[in-house]
Amino acid sequence: MTDTPGIVITGASGRMGRMLIETVVSSEVCQLVGALERPGHDWIGQDIGAAMGGRPLGVTVSDDPVAAFAVAQAVIDFSAPAATVEFAELAAQARAVHVIGTTGLSDDDLDKLKIAARHAVIVRAGNMSLGVNLLVQLTKRVAAALDEDFDIEVIEAHHNRKVDAPSGTALMLGEAAAEGRGRDLSEVSDRGRDGITGARERGDIGFSAIRGGDIVGEHDVLFAGPGERIILRHVASDRRLFAKGALRAALWGQGQKPGEFDMIDVLGLTD
Q: Which sign, positive or negative, has the C-alpha torsion 77, 78, 81, 83? A: negative
| Residue tagged active-site, from 98, 158, 219, 234 | 158
158 is catalytic: yes
* CA–CA gap between residue 16 and residue 240 (Å, rounded): 9
* CA–CA gap between residue 217 and residue 205 (Å, rounded): 20
Identify the DSSP state of 13.
Answer: T
Beta bridge partners of 223: 152, 230
How many Cβ atoms from other residues are within 10 Å of residue 140's Cβ?
19
* CA–CA gap between residue 159 and residue 44 (Å, rounded): 28
Per the CB < 8 A criterion, the answer to whether 87 and 10 are in contact is yes
* CA–CA gap between residue 52 and residue 69 (Å, rounded): 22
* CA–CA gap between residue 105 and residue 122 (Å, rounded): 14
CB-based burial label for 262 (10 Å; 0-12, 13-18, 19+): buried
* CA–CA gap between residue 15 and residue 52 (Å, rounded): 11
| Residue tagged active-site, from 41, 112, 119, 162 | 162
159 is catalytic: no
Identify the DSSP state of 98.
Answer: E
Question: Catalytic positions, please?
Answer: 158, 162
